[in-house]
Structure 1
Amino acid sequence: MTRQETIGVELLDGPAAARSEPAFRLVYAEVFAGEPYEETPESIAAAFRRFRSQVRKSTFRSALARTTDGEPVGIAYGYPLSPTTGWWDHLITPVPADFRREDGQRTFGLMEFAVRASWRRLGVGRRLHEAILGGGDEERVLLNALPDAEAAQSAYRSWGYRKVGEARPWEGAALHDVLLLDLR
């Protein structure tokens, strides 16, 4: 059995993801503590306060990749953007109103996506991406990515994402690329 064959990807709703928070936290903390993210224990704790709120959304979807032994190796989660989303408000250069129109079904916001370094380049990221998007019928996917996150940027480009702008997603945040994938 190859390393890739020892990995399963499970689609989880909010309550199931909440029960699996330790696995999500392990992957998140390992990936985002490193360069170029350099998240602190405080910012990781803040991310999981948001996670606990996000998993309560009825439209929340997540995917968790684990080895057959149960070791978490990758995560993805998000939900469709509501008509009142502030996501588009953070763009440095505004986009046209029709482009930013949301109705709760048009755009899936991919909030977090990570694969542990020792499990990259095995197709785990692609499988997570396909699993989380396979659970919905949105027209497009939106995400923020640091320009210096070369592995992530390369994967997103290979999957068809295109840059539609730049944003500072929260006060004090580094400049992020805003990437969009058309699904139709």
Structure 2
Amino acid sequence: MDGPAAAQAEDAFRLIYAEAFAEPPYHETEDDVAAAFRRFPSMTRKRTVRAALARTEDGEPVGMAYGYPLGADAEWWDRLTEPVPDDMRREDGRRTFGFMELAVRGPWRGRGVARRLHETVLDGIEAERVLLNVHPAGEAAQAAYRTWGYRKIGEARPWEGADLHDVMLLGLHQ
């Protein structure tokens, strides 16, 4: 999906996000979900956003993923607890795809939905690499990302008041 299509499906994205991130270790509340989705409209207006939804045959939303390439002014690198080399943090709007969210509702986990969403969003992108944050206590997510080739490059607080997250990087087109 592009941004306008994702905007049209905001209710499905919100449902999946709210259910998946209410669980440990995230414990997101209705207020947290509302805060996350106050940013959703501006994200879907980015011309470079890529998103995907997984649904059952009956149309029930079961998983979602979205992200976009990081611009030259990306703050992602500034949130790391330890600095990384300047060459690693260099952005130009094409070099790094920032994976913002990937979630699957409980009953559909363990069926390869997350992997297919991940592959769908990244299919055909020209970025050199993918960057994401993951909660260190999110064991299933951590294991999946490592299996898919991500490596931890640091730690960050992705937003004010957030728990410390692992910052993971996946090289592409190598």
Calculate the TM-score normalised by the size of structure 1. 0.93
1:66 corresponds in structure 2 to 55
Structure 1: which 5+ runs fail to align? 1-11
Pairing of 1:6-17 with structure 2 (within 5 A): 12-17=1-6
Distance 2:106 2:129 in 1: 27
Q: Tell me the CA shift for residue 48 of structure 1.
A: 0.5
1:39 equivalent in alignment to 2:37: no
Aligned residues: 173
**For residues 21 and 51 of structure 2, what CA distance do their matches in structure 1 show?**
18
1:180 corresponding residue in structure 2: 169
Paired AA for residue 133 in structure 2? N
Q: Does the residue aligned with 1:85 lie in a helix, a strand or coil?
A: coil
Which structure 2 segments of 5+ residues have no match? none
* Identity value in percent: 68
**SS where residue 83 of structure 2 aligns?**
coil
Residue 163 of structure 1 corresponds to which residue in structure 2? 152
What SS is found at the alignment partner of 1:105? coil
**TM (normalized to structure 2)?**
0.98
Among 115, 127, 136, which residue is 1:126 paired with? 115
Matched, 1:106 2:95: yes
Amino acid in structure 2 at the alignment position of 1:114: A
Aligned-residue RMSD, C-alpha: 0.6
The residue number in structure 2 matching 1:24 is 13
CA distance in 1, matches of 2:61, 2:158: 27
